[in-house]
Amino acid sequence: MYTYNFEKLEIWQLSKNLTVMIYNTTKDFPDSEKFGITNQLRRAAVSIPTNIAEGVNKTSEKERSRYLQIAYGSSMEVISLLLISNELNYIYSEDLEKYRIIINEISNKINAYNRKLNTNSKVNIQLNKSTNKQKTNVTTNGGCQIPIRKN
């Protein structure tokens, strides 16, 4: 069976597992929340692994970084909704603390991966700048500008 690149990433695996946990937890939420906090919490949780998966396959570091930022934002949305759920007595404080630990790990890994991408991007930019050759224009007898490369 073929495995996609994103499936190999620990941050994707952790966030996928978080999503499954959120779905299982929200099964016990009141029916009156089906289209409220239950739906919003599930959508925010699903957004984390899907944005990681989508971002990994983008061609530019800037695009990859943007998707990771969205995934990070979704992880903050999840913890915010879990805090509210705890206040509404939909989840126990002990469960909230378990979620805090998991989300903290995921968000830290997203930030670390994003920093790595940004560092690599800056290194690539510096390498490109140092390897680019300067162009100089020289006028020939006919008055035409001819670009020549200068080392």
What is the span of the domain harbouring residue 58? 5-150
- Our CA angle for 8, 73, 120, nearest 5°, is 55
Residue 84, classified by CB atoms within 10 Å of its CB into exposed (0-12), middle (13-18) or buried (19+), is middle
CB 86 within 8 A of CB 93: yes
Mean pLDDT score of the chain, rounded to an integer?
A: 85
Give 119's pLDDT tier (boundaries 50, 70, 90).
Answer: confident
pLDDT at 145 over 60: no
Distances (CA, A) of 83 to 1, 90, 104, 148: 39, 10, 14, 64
Number of domains in the chain: 1
State pTM to two decimals.
0.78
CATH of the domain at 81: 1.20.1440.60
Phi and psi (nearest 5°) for 134?
-80, 145
pLDDT single digits (tens) 64-96 = 999 999 999 999 999 999 999 999 999 999 999
Residue 73, classified by CB atoms within 10 Å of its CB into exposed (0-12), middle (13-18) or buried (19+), is middle
Helix (H) or strand (E) holding 139: strand 134-139
